[in-house]
């Protein structure tokens, strides 16, 4: 069904007013509706220079008070928004971001920096906000990290609110939005979006926004189609225009012709039908036509995603990326907080196993609380288990949270970025020590330890997977990093993204080797990299011997449908054929041929 949407018949419509733009689809689905332009007056330091002025020494205290009053007003507004957010279907991502906003308004670097600029540079509060925001943004930009870039939006949003409050301009009210509108905006901050009546929005298109930014998070939370990164959208769209958004393929069509509308009505009906048919699979097993069961588990980046996993019929959590608990904050998460995160996941997806991966901070995920570390080559630096080997207390606390959780939850531990067996041995000793310390202090924990597994995501781990398999209870193959390290291609670098392809004989051989070594040693092996959620790969991976896949919740039904369509025998034949291929092209052709037959 979805493939039909790829056909672009719209390119032949140059005589109409129809305008087609392509951006990045961040939340799937199709909407046909009216535009509501809402430029949320994004904060632009260059346009607000007029606010800047010097003040006399005797006015400094007064100015600080004026600023602190704006901080209080902004905090009150965020509190109001937070109360409102509680009524959203899925309020947790929003609440945690609003929480982060509140942190920023406490004694953060932002607030301290602004006060110190008023005191030391003798400038007004507006000027101090502009300078401090610019300085922080520059530091963040220099870090060249998509997660941190997304945080610049948060800082700008808070600064913008502070400025508005200094000028006693009240927050924008959005009550005039027509029911079912598509919001078009320069940006859509969490705070702004939470003022919207959910029922009034059927989709949104924004100029800015990154895949990891909060706009994307919101779109997914709200379950509405959304497209980001359409730079000229505010120049070409007017309120009231008819618009089509295809959140699956990142397409936006303004003033569509009747023919296009009819076509997209059909696509929309197909999409909804397809979604409904996948929902029907929820309670059916993922089993091949000749009776081999495959476990389909979910990847979790934030605790509340577990709810979606339950809805999609997941067999458990195959990968809980615990680094989320460390981002966006000024202190370290306590053992209790981590325990609560595990309990929350377990209550959302009851009686299902959870794989808790210890933090993989470094490279693409930076947590300021753990210090700004700028290695020469981040992907090869102190990341994953290498980081926690240097900061054992952090890892020990994570182990303690898991050990306590084990009293009531089936939870195992997964170590990221393993490249030598010694790292596993050290981690095992630390796990024993964590258990010993808990027992010494009288905390009740089970007499057994949690199962311990390793990510196979470096070539060395894959090559020595026969040795690792004797040390651990399970493997989880991380093809995202395994591809990056095997092919020596940075997974974040768009200039070399054409070289980044897991469908490469070298990567495939390492995947197969790791699966074989796990199977020979009778330990389970899961695959949790992105390819687990791509249905073009499913038959090949099952043919290779994979019996467990872990992916975002939304992909589980389609992968299940795929597994239920073929026999294991056919999948094994495919995998043998692929292993005999020498080039990526040959491998792609083998997969295509499999699909056509
Ligand atoms: C992987 O590397 O494939 C993986 C699942 O881990 P992450 O994407 O978190 O690095
Ligand atoms: Mg990885």
pLDDT in tens, 29-62: 899 999 988 754 444 444 444 456 677 888 899 8
Largest separation between any pair of C-alpha atoms in the chain: 84
pLDDT in tens, 17-27: 899 999 888 77
* Residue 372 to residues 137, 139, 213, 301, 382, Cα–Cα distance (Å): 15, 11, 20, 22, 12
Q: Which residue owns the Cα nearest ligand 1 atom 1?
A: 478
pLDDT at 455: 98
Mean pLDDT of 255-259: 95
Residue 91: band (very low, low, confident or very high) from pLDDT cuts 50, 70, 90: low
pLDDT at 223: 64
Closest ligand to the CA of 418: 2
Residues in the chain: 597
For ligand 1, mutation pick of 367, 415, 480 (most atoms within 8 Å of CB) = 480
Mean pLDDT of 571-589: 94
- Residue 130 tokens read as 């502009």
Per-residue pLDDT at 424 exceeds 90: yes
Residue 427: band (very low, low, confident or very high) from pLDDT cuts 50, 70, 90: very high
**If you measure from the C-alpha of residue 318 to the centroid of ligand 1, how many angstroms do you get, rounded to a whole number?**
12
Per-residue pLDDT at 591 exceeds 70: yes
Per-residue pLDDT at 358 exceeds 90: yes
Task: Give the number of the atom of ligand 1 that is nearest the alpha carbon of residue 364.
Answer: 10
Per-residue pLDDT at 290 exceeds 90: yes
Per-residue pLDDT at 266 exceeds 70: yes
Quote the CA–CA distance of 413 and 556 in Å, as a whole number.
23
For ligand 1, mutation pick of 379, 476, 481 (most atoms within 8 Å of CB) = 481
Closest ligand to the CA of 478: 1
pLDDT at 1: 37
Mean pLDDT of 477-482: 94
Mean pLDDT of 185-194: 62
Residue 3: band (very low, low, confident or very high) from pLDDT cuts 50, 70, 90: very low
**Beta bridge mates, 185:** 206
Ligand 1 cavity residues, CB under 6 Å? 321, 360, 457, 478-481, 528-529
- Residue 480 tokens read as 């995202």
Closest ligand to the CA of 299: 1
* Strands of the 24-27 sheet, one edge to the other: 19-22, 251-254, 242-246, 30-37, 181-185, 201-206, 226-228, 24-27
For ligand 1, mutation pick of 327, 361, 457, 531 (most atoms within 8 Å of CB) = 457
Mean pLDDT of the chain: 83
**If you measure from the C-alpha of residue 157 to the centroid of ligand 2, how many angstroms do you get, rounded to a whole number?**
31
- Residue 365 tokens read as 């995920």
**If you measure from the C-alpha of residue 412 to the centroid of ligand 2, how many angstroms do you get, rounded to a whole number?**
17
Angle at 171 between CA 70 and CA 89, to 5 degrees: 115
Quote the CA–CA distance of 20 and 45 in Å, as a whole number.
32
Is 112 strand, coil or helix? helix
Per-residue pLDDT at 77 exceeds 80: no
Least confident of 8-17, 72-81, 262-271, 380-389: 8-17
pLDDT at 212: 44
**If you measure from the C-alpha of residue 496 to the centroid of ligand 1, how many angstroms do you get, rounded to a whole number?**
19
Per-residue pLDDT at 478 exceeds 60: yes
- Of all residues in the chain, what percent are helix, strand and coil, respectively (each to 5)? 55, 15, 35
Q: Which residue owns the Cα nearest ligand 1 atom 9?
A: 321
Alpha helices in 87-145 (DSSP H): 92-105, 109-121, 125-142
Is 414 strand, coil or helix? strand
Nearest 5°: phi and psi at 569? -60, -45
**If you measure from the C-alpha of residue 327 to the centroid of ligand 2, how many angstroms do you get, rounded to a whole number?**
17
Q: Averaging pLDDT over each range in 116-130, 318-332, 367-381, 503-517, which range is the top one? A: 503-517
Q: Computed from CA positions of residues 64, 67, 69, 72, in that sequence, does the dihedral angle turn out positive or negative?
A: negative
Q: Which residue has the higher pLDDT, 263 or 495?
A: 263
Per-residue pLDDT at 271 exceeds 90: no
**If you measure from the C-alpha of residue 452 to the centroid of ligand 1, how many angstroms do you get, rounded to a whole number?**
17
Q: Averaging pLDDT over each range in 187-191, 269-273, 388-392, which range is the top one? A: 269-273
**If you measure from the C-alpha of residue 479 to the centroid of ligand 1, how many angstroms do you get, rounded to a whole number?**
7
Least confident of 275-279, 482-486, 548-552: 275-279
pLDDT at 516: 98
Closest ligand to the CA of 359: 1
Residue 79: band (very low, low, confident or very high) from pLDDT cuts 50, 70, 90: confident
pLDDT at 252: 96
Closest residue by Cα to residue 92 from 220, 279, 224, 227: 220
**If you measure from the C-alpha of residue 365 to the centroid of ligand 2, how many angstroms do you get, rounded to a whole number?**
11
Q: Which residue has the higher pLDDT, 582 or 376?
A: 582
pLDDT at 338: 95
Closest ligand to the CA of 357: 1
**If you measure from the C-alpha of residue 144 to the centroid of ligand 1, how many angstroms do you get, rounded to a whole number?**
19
Q: Averaging pLDDT over each range in 136-140, 245-249, 495-499, 525-529, which range is the top one? A: 525-529
Q: Which residues, in sequence order, are CB contacts of 593 under 8 Å at separation 6+? A: none
Task: Give the number of the atom of ligand 1 that is nearest the alpha carbon of residue 528.
Answer: 5
Q: Which residue owns the Cα nearest ligand 1 atom 8?
A: 480
Per-residue pLDDT at 362 exceeds 70: no
**If you measure from the C-alpha of residue 481 to the centroid of ligand 2, how many angstroms do you get, rounded to a whole number?**
5
pLDDT at 448: 97
Helix (H) or strand (E) holding 83, with range, is helix 60-85
pLDDT at 554: 77
For the chain, give the percent of residues with pLDDT over 70: 80
Per-residue pLDDT at 309 exceeds 90: no
For ligand 1, mutation pick of 327, 529, 530 (most atoms within 8 Å of CB) = 529
pLDDT at 98: 73
pLDDT at 55: 79
* Residue 308 to residues 241, 391, 514, Cα–Cα distance (Å): 34, 33, 30
pTM summary value:
0.65
Q: Where are the beta strands (DSSP E) in 459-510?
A: 474-477
Least confident of 82-91, 137-146, 415-424: 82-91
pLDDT in tens, 213-223: 556 655 665 56
Q: Which residue has the higher pLDDT, 385 or 320?
A: 320
């Amino acid at each position: 069904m979805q493939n039909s949407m790829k056909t672009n018949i719209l390119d032949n419509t140059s005589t109409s007013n129809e305008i087609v733009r392509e951006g990045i689809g961040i939340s799937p689905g199709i909407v046909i509706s009216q535009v509501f332009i809402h430029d949320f007056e994004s904060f632009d330091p260059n346009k607000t220079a007029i606010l800047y002025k010097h003040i006399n020494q005797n006015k400094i205290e007064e100015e600080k008070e004026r600023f602190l009053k704006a901080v209080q007003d902004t905090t009150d507004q965020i509190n109001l928004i937070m109360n409102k957010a509680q009524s959203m279907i899925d309020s947790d991502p929003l609440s945690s971001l609003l929480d982060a906003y509140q942190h920023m308004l406490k004694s953060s670097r932002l607030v301290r920096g602004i006060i110190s600029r008023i005191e030391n540079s003798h400038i007004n509060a507006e000027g101090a906000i502009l300078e401090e925001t610019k300085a922080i943004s520059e530091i963040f930009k220099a870090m060249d990290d998509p997660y941190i870039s997304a945080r610049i939006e948060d800082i700008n949003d808070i600064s913008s609110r502070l400025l508005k409050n200094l000028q006693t301009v009240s927050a924008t009210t959005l009550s005039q939005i027509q029911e079912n509108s598509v919001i078009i905006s320069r940006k859509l901050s969490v705070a702004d979006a939470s003022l919207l009546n959910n029922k009034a929005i059927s989709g949104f298109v924004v100029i800015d926004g990154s895949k990891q930014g909060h706009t994307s998070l919101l779109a997914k939370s709200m379950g509405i189609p959304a497209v980001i990164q359409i730079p000229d959208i505010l120049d070409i769209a007017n309120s009231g225009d008819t618009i089509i958004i295809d959140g699956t393929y990142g397409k936006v069509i303004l003033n569509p012709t009747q023919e296009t509308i009819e076509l997209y009505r059909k696509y929309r009906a197909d999409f909804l039908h397809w979604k409904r048919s996948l929902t029907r699979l929820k309670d059916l097993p993922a089993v091949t036509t000749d009776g081999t069961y495959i476990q389909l588990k979910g990847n979790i980046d934030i605790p509340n995603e577990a709810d979606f996993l339950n809805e999609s019929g997941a067999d458990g959590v195959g990968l809980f990326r615990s680094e989320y608990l460390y981002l966006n904050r000024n202190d370290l998460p306590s053992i209790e907080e981590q325990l609560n995160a595990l309990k929350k996941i377990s209550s959302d997806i009851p009686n299902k196993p959870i794989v808790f991966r210890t933090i993989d901070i470094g490279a693409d995920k930076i947590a300021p609380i753990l210090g700004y570390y700028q290695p020469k080559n981040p992907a090869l630096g102190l990341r994953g288990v290498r980081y926690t080997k240097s900061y054992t207390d952090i890892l020990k606390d994570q182990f303690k949270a898991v050990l306590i959780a084990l009293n009531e939850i089936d939870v195992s531990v997964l170590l990221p970025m393993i490249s030598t067996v010694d790292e596993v041995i050290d981690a095992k000793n630390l796990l024993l020590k964590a258990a010993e310390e808990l027992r010494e202090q009288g905390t009740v924990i089970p007499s057994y330890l949690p199962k311990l597994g390793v990510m196979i995501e470096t070539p060395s781990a894959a090559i020595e997977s026969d040795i690792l398999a004797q040390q651990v209870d399970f493997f989880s193959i991380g093809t995202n990093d395994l591809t990056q390290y095997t092919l020596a291609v940075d997974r974040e670098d768009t200039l070399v993204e054409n070289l980044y392809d897991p469908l490469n004989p070298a990567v495939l051989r390492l995947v197969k080797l790791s699966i074989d070594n796990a199977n020979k040693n009778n330990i389970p092996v899961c695959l949790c990299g992105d390819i687990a959620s791509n249905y073009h790969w499913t038959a090949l991976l099952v043919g290779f011997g994979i019996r467990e896949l872990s992916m975002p919740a939304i992909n589980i039904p389609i992968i299940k449908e795929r597994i239920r369509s073929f026999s294991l025998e056919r999948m094994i034949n495919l995998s043998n054929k692929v292993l005999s291929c020498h080039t990526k092209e040959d491998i792609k052709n083998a997969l295509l041929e499999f699909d056509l037959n």
